Amino acid sequence: MSVRHIVFAVAPDLVLLDACGPLEAFWRAELTMAAAAGAGRPIVYRTTVASIDGGVLQTFPGLPVVTERLDSLDAEPIDTLIVPGVPVDQHCTLQPELVAWIRRNAPRARRVCSVCTGAFYLAAAGLLDGRRATTHWRDAPHLARRFPNVHVDADPIFIRDAGPDEARSDGERVVWTSAGVTAGIDLALALIEEDLGHAVAMQAARRLVVFMKRPGGQSQFSAALAAQASAGGPFEALHSWMVGHLREDLTVERLAEHARMTPRTFARRYVDEVGRTPARTVSALRLEAASRALAESRRPLKRIALDCGFGSEQNLRRAFVRRFGVLPLEYRERFMSATAPSSASHSGAAARAGEEAR
């Protein structure tokens, strides 16, 4: 197995987690391969963090990092080029030297990736023209306005776009973009799975103590995060109650009664506070609960459907196909932990399932 050179091309004010999250994932994959192969095993990944000027680079959180000069890599092979994000606003100026380096060197990389607002650099280099791409949901409208040739989708955790060369067996010209900050870990785990297989990626995820490897199609907009966003507001207690009662009939009337409002007043105020209808929050919470149950247990579909409030296996299947494009058992086959316990140890799963699936 040849060594895969992963190059992080970073700009001033680098968002540190955009780089160190994926770096940690690749290192955990190294540890997993080392444990399996023992002494004398070949190195799987070589990682380099580089900037235009090299040396010490200040990051957005304030912790400096030491980088190599990007031009020192011009003669070296690059397997994967990753561009982490930087803080952006309507008036931000991208580093032109970095844009030029990316434009010049991206064609010789097997795959090119961005984390969060690193997509702005890929777009400026012309690498996202005519492609689907994502970034942090907050910055997606800005990306779409600034680069109208990019098909921006603010919803997915990450997107793999092979462009017109999808049929090529060598995988060149594949571009990956990911959502904000921690989504870079999900992107790295997907790259590891592509390189080394599902088992290694899942083991790396467990070493990182993330609950599961999120699929790229999973939404950035977690129902649990939406609930947390209104913490301290009038629906904080209601959201906690909903998570523990997913298997019940959570109609607007029932929720309004628990919130001590009339149904009409409740529905109006809920949309104003949370930004979505009560029904959408219930559906999203139930889907997250079912996703967690499938990934972390071996409970039968009928039990999961009942515990999470879908009522029947048929409703559960419809919800998964509509949201993820796969059937529940296919989702379980791909994302279930090898150490998932039996159903007996998951009697309280529904109460905990409102946490963000990871």
For every residue of 184-238, DSSP letters joined together read HHHHHHHHHHHHH-HHHHHHHHHHTT-SS---TTSBS--HHHHHHHTTTSTTHHH
Per the structure block, which two tokens stand in for 30?
């190294």
> Which homologous superfamily is 4-207 in?
Class I glutamine amidotransferase (GATase) domain (3.40.50.880)
The answer to whether residues 87 and 59 touch, using CB atoms and an 8 Å cutoff, is no
Residues 6+ positions from 75 with CB-CB distance below 8 Å:
none
Tell me how far the alpha carbon of residue 207 is from its chain's centroid.
Answer: 17
CATH 1.10.10.60 domain extents, the chain:
223-352
* Other Cβ atoms within 10 Å of 295 Cβ, number: 21
Tokens standing for 82?
Answer: 């990753």
| Cα 59 from Cα 191, distance rounded (Å) | 25
* Residues contacting residue 196 through CB under 8 Å, at least 6 positions apart: 29, 33, 44
Topology at the third CATH level for domain 223-352: Arc Repressor Mutant, subunit A (1.10.10)
- What pLDDT was estimated at residue 109? 96
Query: Coil, helix or strand for 144?
Result: helix
pLDDT of residue 224: 53
- In this prediction, residue 350 carries a pLDDT of 34
Cβ–Cβ under 8 Å, residues 221 and 155: yes
Q: What is the residue type of 69? A: R
- Inter-residue contact 6 to 26 (CB < 8 Å): yes
Q: What does each of the 358 residues of the chain score in pLDDT, given as a tens digit?
A: 689 999 999 999 999 999 999 999 999 999 988 887 766 666 899 999 999 999 999 998 899 999 999 999 999 999 999 999 999 887 778 999 999 999 999 999 999 999 999 999 999 999 999 999 999 988 999 999 999 999 999 878 899 998 764 433 444 469 999 998 889 999 999 999 999 998 888 888 888 877 555 656 565 655 554 554 444 567 878 888 888 899 999 999 999 999 999 999 999 999 888 778 999 889 988 988 898 888 778 899 999 999 999 999 999 999 998 887 789 998 888 766 544 544 443 333 333 333 323 2
Of 189, 183, 191, 181, the closest CA to residue 207 belongs to: 189
pLDDT at 338: 46
pTM for this prediction: 0.69
CA 133 from centroid of its chain's CA atoms: 13
pLDDT recorded at residue 230: 47
Q: Where do the CATH 3.40.50.880 domains begin and end in the chain? A: 4-207
The conformation of residue 326, written as its DSSP 8-state character, comes to S
